[in-house]
Structure 1
Amino acid sequence: MRVVIAEDNVLLANGLELLLTAKGFHVAAITQDAPGFAAAVDEHRPDVTVVDVRLPPTYRDEGIHAAIRARRRHPGLPVLVLSQYVEQQYAGELLSDGRGGIGYLLKDRVSRVGEFVDALRRVAGGGTVMDPEVIGQLLTRPARDPIATLTPREREVLALMAEGEDNTTIAARLVITDNAVHKHIGNVFSKLGLSPDDGGHRRVLAVLTYLSRR
């Protein structure tokens, strides 16, 4: 599986390369800025990319916008974004096309090798992975937010959905039946106004509903 990394911190970039190589990935390129990332994606057509939110020269949002532009140029390009802090606006921008193949993790998750590699594989497979810290902040929004209409159990289910878990895993983690999970997810979709016509993207759109109502 080919990977392109955009990370200006040399130590972290090299660490990612060693980690991913040991896990069977092929790191096709490591770039330190947005133009380099765009060129590497065009050249290597990677199966998945890892991008730091903040890249030179301003270290503000170059990485996230480079990722968005790359997905526009290469629709469905899997992107796993790494950020030092929870930055909901950036996560919302990245998720806005609703296509999946998106991940948003805090950098300290990289040290949890198993979780990080699993997240990268999910993203490469078209899934959506959100850092639990992001989900935690989204779950504490004010009462005017439609999220406030969810029951505590529905919020737990939605949090696990947003982390990329499937129904069977959610059932196991919450110690409830698959049918109960299916019912809770249906209630979440209904309360968030997500139509059945949205199909499989409703899981992503549920997260977008969180991110768009701040």
Structure 2
Amino acid sequence: MIAEDSTLLREGLTHILGKFGHEVAAAVDNAPSLLAAVREHSPDLAVVDVRLPPGFKDEGLRAAVALRQEHPGLAVLLLSQYLESDYAAELLATGDTGAGYLLKDRVGDVLEFLDSMQRVADGGTVIDPEIIRRLLGRRRGQSSVRDLTPRETEVLALMAEGRSNAAIAAELTVSHAAVAKHIGNIFDKLDLRATGAEHRRVLAVLAYLKR
């Protein structure tokens, strides 16, 4: 499912996804049509522009949040021209299924975009690296993040980008055991205790994104 008011981008995404073997159930240009189309087609993934008609404010985000509450299994990848960490945090707070927030510039790299989309569809979390870089500086004065070591901060930033433990290990050239240890330390320092109802990886990213 695609919801994008730009005809060029909407048609381009439809063409690209079809070319790479994905079925686009519907492509719409406004929030009310997105709500109706998801309810009709029950897609696995919705790619949604944050700002949609009729108001061009946050209608896409509002629709995505409502749909994830109605359809807990729906994965959502938000697209935006703007760096708004609150949008990413609000989407992530709606459930444990796949969620992502990317700047529209990322669509220009087709393979990177498709990889991000697939990770979200598979239940992962993908946050635009530019948001992560901006938040690194913003959160230095906050105690929970300040308590993390530089390496733990790197690991959490990669987690927020949607990287798996194996991908983090490869990126940082460390063992899988070392990554697991760093993530355990992050959970402890952010006071994210294991329970059957909580997805600690998502909660860690939420703690990282909240202002």
Place the TM-score, normalised by the shorter chain, in its bin.
over 0.9
CA apart distance, 1:199: 7.2
Which of the numbers 9, 20, 26 marks the counterpart of 1:23? 20
The separation in 1 between residues aligned to 2:197 and 2:112, in whole angstroms, is 27
Partner SS for 2:94: coil
CA contact (8 A) 1:5 1:49 kept: yes
CA apart distance, 1:72: 1.0
* Runs of 5+ consecutive residues of structure 2 not aligned to the other structure: none
1:206 aligned to 2:199? Answer: no
1:169 aligned to 2:152? Answer: no
CA contact (8 A) 1:100 1:201 kept: no
Which of the numbers 108, 113, 117 marks the counterpart of 1:111? 108
Matches within 5 A, 1:1-214: 4-140=1-137, 141-197=139-195, 201-212=199-210, 214=211
CA apart distance, 1:167: 1.2
The separation in 2 between residues aligned to 1:98 and 1:147, in whole angstroms, is 23
Partner SS for 1:182: helix
CA contact (8 A) 2:160 2:205 kept: yes
Moved more, 110-119 or 197-206: 197-206
* Runs of 5+ consecutive residues of structure 1 not aligned to the other structure: none
The separation in 2 between residues aligned to 1:57 and 1:48, in whole angstroms, is 23
Give deviations 1:11-44, integer Å, cap 9, x for gaps: 0101101111111011111111111001100111
Which portions of structure 1, spanning 4 or more consecutive aligned residues, are displaced by more than 6 angstroms? none
- Aligned residue pairs: how many? 210
The separation in 1 between residues aligned to 2:32 and 2:203, in whole angstroms, is 30
The separation in 2 between residues aligned to 1:210 and 1:76, in whole angstroms, is 24
CA contact (8 A) 1:50 1:82 kept: yes
What's the Cα RMSD here?
A: 1.3
So what's the TM-score if we normalise by structure 1?
0.94
- Counterpart code for 1:103: G
CA contact (8 A) 1:76 1:100 kept: yes
